Structure 1
């Protein structure tokens, strides 16, 4: 008996990501079609065969496929067992239209680091409330994709410039512990590229911006719990999406759940 087809799709509140699409297909074949956004595809099991720009291509477990906007393509299982895939649809703010030609020529990328980063981003996107981490991971993915499509020499910046960028972002995060800030907004305020901003902050302080902000929010929640606030109220007052979001990070950092911490005060 054929395996039931599975599809999961959602639109996360992360700038640049228009849709997340997970699917398991055994028989379905896509006809020729186009998207007006970038298609970033990884395959977890099986393999996908497709035609792009009148060339035969394929995605295996070890590769990442980047299908450009406005270029017709199809898709079908390359094995009798079908395939399981995860897809990110990315708008032109992540990769601009000038890269479409390069992507059409070389859509399949054998880059294990890139593949791991894409998989990690999918995991983060499944957790509501971790949007800053998702933005940071997406910035590195975009940077690596651009490196494949348009290699550029690295720019060397003075160490004092790096430290100033990091401290500026830290001040911004300290001022917005509860309301937060998107990576793109922070990049505009600090006058640095998003990927460079995350890299400079991590080098200066030993943790990524989203980890720093989460730690500050956990500290705020601890204080509120000690004041007697219930975990659900402490979560939103500290900047977390909901109680489950607080609980996941609180236990990881503190070692116990928020409820247990509050009872032990």
Structure 2
């Protein structure tokens, strides 16, 4: 069951959306006061916090090992992995990049930092570049997880975006990050990188997830930058999205157009318009598709010209925003 509430935080309004379930209820307790400012800066930008839906917790037998590793060009590029391991176990090895893994189901017993550490649903494993690690599913369990492998440059950038100042590469020392909100953001970003989503949404979700992880759990947490209205800057970004709704604009391009850092743009854009840039872009695309349908274009053609991947992609957002499907709109 999903619940939502809106709460003011100084000059920010935060919408908390929490998946209410017996597994995660009560896990998002009060934050440590010393972390509050940076945490809310990173996590309230898009106005969404949540938890990963409760995955299977009991031991699961049978099945086979499955994994997919691919590279995306979002925010300069990184590799991502989605895996479901039943028997496979990694030998001790290292990565040149960070490893950030969020467990979706089952349990694992990876070895690193001098010992074995059990991880379960919604747990996040963060390893710095060069850290030796290995292992696999815990006995009698599968291990289903999603992983990111961002380079040091991308992690430094995410930390710099929070404070708007030069930062060293963040480091992580916690054995396991148990933070349902960060897990939810990471999972949503990973899904966006796997499914057909706009470049703007992919960049925004990935940057948000990495920034929130750094703000809450890096050993040297960056101080938060205070919001300034930036009315002219966000208006330039809005006009760009209105003028070119079908363009697959990246977050970096939109930030350059506005003259702001990418993370700060997302923050002040939502403060000004009540929507993230990619949500605003989707609405602009639906409006364009509606106009094209009114002019007599077929639904599939309107979807393509408005920037949607295909007709089902348009139909989903058209119904969500306007309350009817494109087909029903045409037969009104």
TM over 0.5: yes
Q: Classify 1:16/1:50 alpha carbon distance in 2 versus 1 (closer, same or farther; 3 Å).
A: farther
Matched, 1:204 2:278: no
Which runs of 5 or more residues in structure 2 are unaligned?
Answer: 1-60, 158-167
Deviations 1:72-129 (A, max 9, x none): 21121123122211222323443039436x22x3352122210111122233334313
Aligned ranges for residues 113-262 of structure 1 at < 5 Å? Answer: 113-147=181-215, 148-149=217-218, 150-159=220-229, 161=230, 163-262=231-330
Q: Per-residue deviation at 1:5?
A: 1.9
Q: Classify 1:127/1:258 alpha carbon distance in 2 versus 1 (closer, same or farther; 3 Å).
A: farther
User: CA–CA distance in 1 between the matches of 2:197 and 2:228?
Assistant: 35
Report how many aligned residue pairs link the two structures.
Answer: 260
8 Å CA contact 1:16–1:94 kept in 2: the answer is yes
Q: Per-residue deviation at 1:53?
A: 4.3
- Give the TM-score of the pair, scaled to structure 1: 0.87
Aligned ranges for residues 33-48 of structure 1 at < 5 Å? Answer: 33-48=93-108
How big is the alpha-carbon RMSD for the aligned residues of Structure 1 and Structure 2?
2.3
Q: Per-residue deviation at 1:169?
A: 1.6
Q: Per-residue deviation at 1:29?
A: 0.6
Larger helix proportion, structure 1 or 2? 1
**Secondary structure, aligned partner of 1:77:** coil
Deviations 1:18-59 (A, max 9, x none): 333222212211011222322221112222222234444342
Moved more, 62-71 or 199-208: 62-71
Q: Classify 1:34/1:138 alpha carbon distance in 2 versus 1 (closer, same or farther; 3 Å).
A: same
Alignment counterpart, residue 63 of structure 1, candidates 115, 123, 129: 123
Moved more, 196-205 or 235-244: 235-244
Question: What is the match of residue 27 of structure 2?
Answer: none
8 Å CA contact 2:198–2:248 kept in 1: the answer is no
User: CA–CA distance in 2 between the matches of 1:236 and 1:135?
Assistant: 22
8 Å CA contact 1:173–1:180 kept in 2: the answer is no
Question: What is the match of residue 8 of structure 1?
Answer: 68
Which runs of 5 or more residues in structure 1 are unaligned?
Answer: none
